[in-house]
């Protein structure tokens, strides 16, 4: 399920080789462009027309010179040529406008469809996918790769075709009007232009390398600023300064090589490229002297040569960009081809309407897909009767959170079954199933938005009264009311920063609104100070009333009242029973933990 890693050496752009297979695969993306295929087609026709009209300019320029010298061989005067030129200009302008607008339809709307499809796919992928792919890579696929595709459709494909048309039309035209000169030109000019392009590619590689070092140094600055407290606490200022200085020195080194290459490139361009151009003009001047061509022919010829040179160079660049876009479609398709978790479950018909909340784990074995060699759960059996509260305790890394994740169906057990009211949860409709469960984790991250929006996430169609009632029950209403904007207070990065305990209570209000039969608390109070813990625990107690609850906690005081306590160690249940049962076990893990914790709290 993990996506292919991107090529690590960013300074050497690895371009995909063009193959029939690749092109056919890329065709897949065209399904999003299909609704705009007529725009694309008409745009192409207009592109063809405007390129040909463009090719008339050098001819008209030459014609002007010949008319001025009275050598046109045609009864024309300069005013007439001027009118023709004006008409061609207007025609060209009109066609270009229509073409750009047509291509914009395709690129804007077609690519918007790709973006939406990608996001829809991404958000419905199973959790395992996100465990195996770095979020930075995913975001860059959605932004960077789609942008490449967008550029292809808005500019590159059109320009690529335009250069081809110009190249072919130009050469044909020259071959017909001035065959001798055309031959000399074709033998010298393309070679020089191709050389220049190769040279240019080397320069681009250096520029990329410089950019990478620059990006590294920027990342270093932002990291240091984010961690400024750590830097200062550990008096790491000098270390940071030295590290930054080293990177900057490296960048200067690369930059100087880059500058050197550019300087050489300038010399090359002046001497060779213009040399070739002047050589051709020199030849043309000879022919003019011998009366084999007119001055107008020469003017037209030189203009065509310059245009053809530009087209050859442009073709190379646009070809490179197109290959880049092709690589981008490949990375986009990789995501689009992933199997979402939702459609997986739609096949099964297990509908849940009435849920009691009896949960049962039967010999559950599990390894995370990203670490298949390490078995995290080794045959877990546990049972919660409807309305009961059970607790999971044990050292960190024992597998407690994993049990909760399996119950949420973020992953599937490798062996064994998990039953809800006697039915295998893997057979239930996934969304219907999850609608009966709420989770309050240790660290609550709120969405950037108002407090109201964050609470409504539990039940989007809840009324104002319901939201307030939930907030009250969650012990959150008091602090929400203190904000001038109340429920409309914006939280998150661009809003008010809430404390851990406040965020926790908003998450609880959200869960209360959802009103699930099953409640999962994964160390919901572990990161709170004593005072917030008391308020949050009070809210949690209200939330747990009448629900099947599974509570993971470090502080045994919070699990004391559980109907059954399971002690988990290295993926196995090693002890189970009520607080009294377990505390009485001689040499038991729980009893020693209990002695330690309660002794400490009694002394303090
Ligand atoms: N997403 C994951 N991918 C791979 N391994 C994981 C993942 N989450 C947890 N683990 C591993 O599974 C084991 C149990 O983790 P966890 O259930 O979070 O323990 P607990 O909640 O009891 O502290 C640990 O060894 C942990 O490293
Ligand atoms: Mg945990």
Same domain, 269 and 404: no
Instruction: State whether the beta carbon of 370 lies less than 6 angstroms from ligand 1.
Output: yes
Instruction: Round to whole Å and give the CA distance between 564 and 549.
Output: 11
Same domain, 525 and 411: yes
Q: Residue by residue, what is the 3-state secondary structure of 20-38?
A: HHHHHHHHHHHHHHHHHHH
Instruction: State whether the beta carbon of 401 lies less than 6 angstroms from ligand 1.
Output: yes
Q: What was the pLDDT predicted at 315? A: 84
Q: Which ligand is nearest to the CA of 527?
A: 2
- Compute the distance from residue 507 Cα to the ligand 1 centre, in Å: 23
- Compute the distance from residue 152 Cα to the ligand 2 centre, in Å: 46
Are 391 and 559 in contact by the 8 Å Cβ rule? The answer is yes
How far is residue 428 from each of residues 7, 285, 366, 409, measured CA to CA in Å? 41, 85, 20, 10
Computed on alpha carbons and rounded to an integer, the radius of gyration of the chain in Å comes to 36
Block residue for tokens 């030129």: 85
Instruction: Round to whole Å and give the CA distance between 217 and 397.
Output: 36
Where b means 16+ CB within 10 Å and e means fewer, 320-347 reads bbbbbbbbbbbbbeebbebebbeeebee
In the chain, the number of structural domains is 4
65 within domain boundaries:
yes
CA 396 to ligand 1: nearest atom: 23
- Compute the distance from residue 538 Cα to the ligand 2 centre, in Å: 22
Residue 490 burial by Cβ neighbours in a 10 Å radius (0-12, 13-18, 19+): middle
The residues whose Cβ lies within 5 A of ligand 2, an ion, are: 401
* pLDDT, tens digit, 9 for 90 and up, residues 63-109: 888 888 887 777 788 888 889 889 989 999 999 999 999 999 999 99
Same domain, 426 and 524: yes
Same domain, 126 and 88: yes
How far is residue 289 from each of residues 237, 285, 292, 294, measured CA to CA in Å? 75, 6, 8, 9
537 within domain boundaries:
no
Are 388 and 396 in contact by the 8 Å Cβ rule? The answer is no
Instruction: Round to whole Å and give the CA distance between 287 and 272.
Output: 23
Same domain, 385 and 501: no
- Compute the distance from residue 400 Cα to the ligand 2 centre, in Å: 6
* pLDDT, tens digit, 9 for 90 and up, residues 458-490: 899 999 999 999 999 999 999 999 999 999 999
For residue 13, pLDDT beyond 60: no
For residue 23, pLDDT beyond 80: no
Are 404 and 387 in contact by the 8 Å Cβ rule? The answer is no
Same domain, 596 and 486: no
Average pLDDT over residues 582-592: 87
- Compute the distance from residue 394 Cα to the ligand 2 centre, in Å: 10
201 within domain boundaries:
yes
Residue 413 burial by Cβ neighbours in a 10 Å radius (0-12, 13-18, 19+): buried
Nearest CA to ligand 1 atom 9: 402
244 within domain boundaries:
yes
CATH of the domain at 389: 3.40.50.300
Same domain, 133 and 39: yes
How far is residue 80 from each of residues 66, 88, 299, 353, measured CA to CA in Å? 13, 12, 19, 84
Average pLDDT over residues 366-389: 93
Instruction: Round to whole Å and give the CA distance between 495 and 506.
Output: 15
Helix or strand holding residue 434 (H, E): helix 430-434
Same domain, 408 and 428: yes
154 within domain boundaries:
yes
Give the residues across from 359 on adjacent strands. 384, 420
* pLDDT, tens digit, 9 for 90 and up, residues 132-173: 887 777 887 788 889 988 998 888 988 999 999 998 998 898
Same domain, 416 and 559: yes
Q: Are strands 389-393 and 564-569 parallel, antiparallel or unpaired?
A: parallel
Same domain, 420 and 378: yes
Query: Which residues constitute the domain of residue 286?
Result: 179-292
Closest CA to 196 of 55, 325, 315: 315
Cα dihedral across residues 34, 40, 45, 47: positive or negative: negative
CA 127 to ligand 1: nearest atom: 1
Same domain, 170 and 109: yes
Nearest CA to ligand 1 atom 5: 368
Same domain, 204 and 84: no
């Amino acid at each position: 399920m993990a996506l292919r890693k991107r090529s690590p050496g960013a300074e050497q752009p690895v371009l995909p080789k063009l193959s029939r297979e690749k092109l056919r695969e890329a065709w897949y993306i065209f399904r999003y462009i299909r609704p705009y295929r007529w725009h694309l087609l008409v745009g192409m026709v207009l592109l063809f027309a405007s390129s040909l009209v463009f090719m008339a300019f050098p001819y008209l320029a030459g014609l002007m010179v010949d008319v001025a010298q009275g050598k046109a061989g045609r009864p024309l005067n300069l005013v007439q040529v001027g009118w023709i030129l004006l008409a061609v200009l207007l025609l060209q302008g009109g066609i270009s406008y229509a073409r750009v607008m047509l291509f914009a339809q395709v690129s804007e709307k077609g690519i918007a469809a790709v973006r939406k499809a990608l996001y829809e796919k991404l958000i419905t992928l199973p959790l395992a996918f996100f465990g195996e792919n770095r979020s930075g890579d995913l975001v860059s696929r959605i932004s960077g790769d789609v942008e490449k595709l967008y550029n292809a459709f808005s500019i590159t494909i059109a320009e690529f075709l335009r250069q081809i048309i110009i190249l072919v039309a130009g050469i044909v035209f020259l071959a017909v009007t001035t065959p001798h000169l055309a031959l000399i030109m074709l033998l010298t000019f393309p070679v020089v232009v191709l050389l220049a392009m190769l040279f240019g590619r080397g320069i681009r590689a250096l520029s990329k390398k410089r950019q990478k070092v620059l990006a590294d140094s920027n990342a270093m600055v932002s990291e240091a600023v984010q961690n400024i407290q750590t830097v200062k606490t550990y008096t790491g200022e000098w270390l940071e300064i030295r590290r930054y200085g080293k990177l900057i020195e490296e960048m200067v080194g690369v930059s100087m090589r880059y500058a050197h290459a550019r300087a050489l490139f300038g010399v090359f361009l002046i001497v060779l490229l213009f040399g070739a151009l002047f050589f051709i003009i020199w030849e043309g001047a000879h022919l003019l002297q011998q009366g084999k061509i007119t001055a107008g022919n020469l003017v037209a010829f030189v203009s065509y040569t310059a245009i053809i040179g530009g087209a050859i160079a442009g073709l190379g660049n646009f070809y490179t960009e197109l290959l880049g876009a092709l690589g981008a479609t490949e990375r986009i398709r990789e995501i689009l081809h992933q199997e979402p978790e939702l459609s997986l479950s739609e096949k099964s018909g297990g509908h849940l309407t009435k849920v009691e909340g009896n949960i049962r784990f039967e010999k559950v074995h599990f390894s995370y897909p990203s670490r298949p060699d390490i078995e995290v759960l080794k045959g877990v059996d546990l049972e919660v009767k409807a309305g009961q509260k059970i607790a999971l305790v044990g050292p960190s890394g024992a597998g407690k959170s994993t049990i909760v994740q399996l119950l949420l169906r973020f992953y599937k057990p490798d062996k064994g079954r998990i039953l809800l009211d006697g039915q295998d949860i893997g057979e239930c409709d996934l969304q219907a199933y999850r609608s009966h469960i709420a989770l309050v984790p240790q660290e609550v991250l709120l969405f950037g938005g108002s407090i109201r929006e964050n609470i409504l996430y539990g039940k989007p169609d809840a009324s104002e009264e319901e939201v307030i009632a939930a907030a009250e029950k969650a012990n959150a209403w008091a602090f929400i009311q203190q904000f001038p904007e109340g429920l409309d207070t914006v939280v998150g990065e661009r809003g008010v920063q809430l404390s851990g305990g406040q965020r926790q209570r908003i998450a609880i209000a959200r869960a209360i609104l959802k009103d699930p039969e099953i409640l999962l608390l994964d160390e919901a109070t572990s990161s709170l100070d004593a005072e917030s813990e008391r308020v949050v625990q009070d809210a949690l107690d209200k939330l747990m009333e009448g629900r099947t609850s599974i509570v993971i906690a470090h502080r045994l005081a919070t699990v004391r009242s559980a109907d059954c306590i399971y002690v988990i160690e290295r993926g196995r249940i090693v002890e189970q029973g009520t607080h009294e049962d377990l505390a009485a076990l001689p040499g038991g893990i729980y009893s020693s933990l209990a002695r330690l914790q309660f002794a400490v709290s009694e002394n303090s």
